Amino acid sequence: MTTVWHNPRCSKSRAALEAFTGSGREVRVRRYLDDPPTSAELSEVLDLLGLEPWDITRMGEDRARELGLASAERERERWIAILVANPVLIERPIVLTEDGRAAVARDPETLRSLL
């Protein structure tokens, strides 16, 4: 089953969810703002993505500025804890496919590659 970490207020997240549900795939929607990932879950997803937490952090968010993340030391466990405590900072949509692929599917090319 494909899982989409979804924020319904985000147009790119809505587009990804529509693409997957329209493809006939079974989709699990993870409203990560209401149901934030645990540190272990986020670490596992980062490993699947091949990224670090700062790579999926929405640095333009007010909360990122309040926390001073632009100049914060890049220490993986600390950043994971920050994202878990502040899920609004997690880039979206994150798509996890049933065959083990994962991506931040913000652009049409990435989205198509997962379909």
pLDDT of 34: 97
pLDDT digits (tens, 9 = 90+) for 16-33: 999 988 888 899 999 999
* pTM, rounded to two decimals: 0.93
Q: What CATH number is given for 2-114 in this structure?
A: 3.40.30.10
Alpha carbon of residue 48 to chain centroid: 11
What's the pLDDT tens digit per position in 53-96?
A: 999 999 999 999 999 999 999 999 999 999 999 999 999 999 99
Task: Give, in degrees to the nearest 5, the angle at Cα 83 between 88 and 38.
Answer: 110
Does residue 102 surpass a pLDDT of 90?
A: yes
pLDDT at 24: 86
Q: Which of 7, 8, 9, 10 is catalytic?
A: 10
Domain ranges of the chain: 2-114
For residue 10, indicate whether it is catalytic: yes
